[in-house]
Structure 1
Amino acid sequence: MEQKPTVGFIGLGIMGHHMAGHILAAGYPLNIYNRTRAKGDDLVARGAQWCDSPGAVAAASDITITIVGYPADVEQVYLADGGILASARPGSVLIDMTTSSPALAARIAQSGLLSGVAALDAPVSGGDVGAKAGKLAIMVGGDKRTFDRVLPVLEVMGANIALMGKAGAGQHTKMANQIAIASTMLAVAESVSYARAAGLDPAQVLKVIGTGAASSFLLNGLGPKMVEEDFAPGFFIHHFVKDMTIALDETERLGLDLPGLALARSLYLKLKDDGFGEEGTQALYRAYNAIHSEAG
């Protein structure tokens, strides 16, 4: 039997922890690192090997995967002295699954070529639910030969996996995804707010309209959480603000005007500034509650 490649995984947050767990469960030797070591204790108990730095993970792995917070974090773990690019095994593959800057993804890929390693950008969509189920959508930028080489590992984490183009194309696709989500979240929050103000049962309204043309994952999945005022995070507001900021930067560079995206970011940014950045994106409903309270 052919031995499976050793996989390194850096970033064991809400999504990364589940993703790493699926890789381990699929029989891949797994090296892990996270800034808070305790988040990896259960994976170590299941057989993962703890490493003391991102560079140490890369040095010990055939495939190194990262899913960290912000573009600045990506830049730090990949490009810093002693980081991933400086430590990676020649011939290994680096996969950044963070939602990050397309330009940074292209820069990492180019630096990888100079270092004798291949790099893919492969951001994901599906939140903690998709990560836990191993059903994430994974949008990939980079070389097809490299993509084919690591596809079995990606298939452990995702159900819809597509190579979208050259380095950076995965990040551009994720921006399109986040732009669609931004305006849809506005619509869901406004729909629930309207139903409640009109004296309807918002939960019943969602059950009805959720089977018609308005049906969507966000309406059917996060709409009920708005009704229940359950704002526990599946995806943090502060991370969504980061994503929308990247998208707006790209929008400006491309000469586009996307008012729905701009409005969504402004409302989410206010929530973040008001101390709700650690809540889930469905907490956008708070903004409409505040508007209604002021109106009343």
Structure 2
Amino acid sequence: MELQFLGTGAGMPSKERNTSSLALKLYEERGTLWLFDCGEATQHQILHTTIKPRKIEKLFITHLHGDHIFGLPGLLSSRSFLGGEEPAPLTLYGPKGLMKWIQFTLELTKTHLNYPIHFVEIEEGVIFEDEHFIVTAKELEHVIPCFGFRIEQKPLPGELYIDKALELGIPKGPLLGKLKSGEDVELEDGTIVRSKDVTGPPKKGFVVAILGDTIYCKQSVELSRDADIVVHEATFDHATAKLAKDYGHSTNVDAAKVAKEANAKYLILNHISSRFLPRDLENLLKEAKKVFPHVFVAKDFSSYQWKNGQLIDLSAKNL
């Protein structure tokens, strides 16, 4: 799993940061990616990455403020005109009103899509579940309805003890794969080899909390409980805490408090106000680390890989 930030600014674009959008790359897990929010010029940001819009399987919108949705009509339209294979169906999750806005925009502009969109106007609770993932939404505390999401990967198959399987007569090939995936298999002589006898215990999947705009609230903590990664807005800093509260936003210290109370492993600060210049980022980081030690400040195009229980900053690795 990999997170790539396409826009990390707040309110409006700046020279340093575009408006909100985040890609959750699940290429190894399901061969697709999920997009969270789609601020103005998100498709332009995508042009500077290896992301293929036709691979976007699901798109989650936290709330209907323009810096989180104004890039959506353009991206949906362009997805129809890309070369190569026909775009797959797209599921669009968001607050009530999103479907009406998109359908009206497409109709008014006579925009035809060559793929279907399935709209899910979300309420609190589980909004998606299959055999591999479960996504839960909770309403946060902002100036308009705004949601946060908890993405949980279900337990993965345990390690396959190949030597033990071979000793029991399992030939090399597809039967080994079935055992690893949890299936029992039957040999030609009728012997049943049980998966649990040749595999280790299931491995814990990852948990990511991606939160929309909000003041500090208990819902953020609940979504982030024991999460591996929390992506939390930090529009303001400790010195501008009053402004944060007045405008329904959080500070870097608020975000750190959420991560600490939730017993999360890592925190990524996002949605940074343009009032903070590159030289200010070190102070944003230091303030947050006084409360919670494992913190990153996202920048546009930053990439973070989750591997073997560790969060790796790929951007720093490439410097």
Greater helix share, structure number: 1
Instruction: Report 1 or 2 for greater relative contact order, CA contacts < 8 Å, sequence distance ≥ 6.
Output: 2
Task: Give TM-score scaled by structure 2 length.
Answer: 0.30
Greater strand share, structure number: 2
Task: Give TM-score scaled by structure 1 length.
Answer: 0.32
